[in-house]
Amino acid sequence: MDLTRRISLTASMLVLWLLPTFTWAASIQVTVEIPQLEVAQYLRPYVAFWVEKDGAHVADLAVWYDTDLEAERGEEWLKDMRQWWRRSGRSLDMPVDGVSGATRPPGIHTETFTFGTGVLVDLPPGEYQLLVEAARQLGGREVVKIPFAWPAQKAAPLTASGSSELGAVSLRLNP
């Protein structure tokens, strides 16, 4: 990826952090950059987002995979996201309402998860980690981790960066 595009994507993510979040409920906002890779055959990566506490799975936030393949063939490659698969994926019956979704093209994608609803209904105070794992058929696999404390005292962006299958990953806590 050329320098101009990287700067543009980074600036876009910065704008997302600086925009106010107009929700009354506590939430986390996850922004993920999926880089455009210069390879012979590019296939969109499968991506899983989940929360852990002390290395134990707490909640799945999102799983992006190929939902369009016939006869559930898209689920066949979920196991390529090895960490997520071992901690949670193999025990799920896909698709999971409110968690499953289609793969995303290269670019910056944002998901917001509200505490007290859905998969984050009973998250007690404590130290956690957000994990984002990406795996691409005919490509690589990568996991990015961002530690955070809940409940957050103030809105704060936390960042990490991948080196191949993922670009910049940010977590914005909205108390």
Per-residue pLDDT tens digits for 69-107:
765 777 888 999 999 999 999 998 888 877 888 999 999
Task: Give mean pLDDT, residues 1-24.
Answer: 51
3-state secondary structure of 4: helix
Beta bridge partners of 172: 29, 157
Question: Between residues 13 and 19, which one has the greater pLDDT?
Answer: 13
Per-residue pLDDT tens digits for 51-72:
999 999 999 999 999 887 765 7
Looking at residue 23, its pLDDT comes to 40
Looking at residue 119, its pLDDT comes to 65
For residue 129, pLDDT beyond 80: yes
DSSP 154-171: S-EEEEEE-SSS--EEEE
% of the chain beyond a pLDDT of 90: 52
For residue 50, the surrounding DSSP H or E stretch is strand 46-53
Looking at residue 105, its pLDDT comes to 95
Cβ contact 170:112 at 8 Å = no
Phi first, then psi: give them for residue 61, nearest 5 degrees: -100, -45
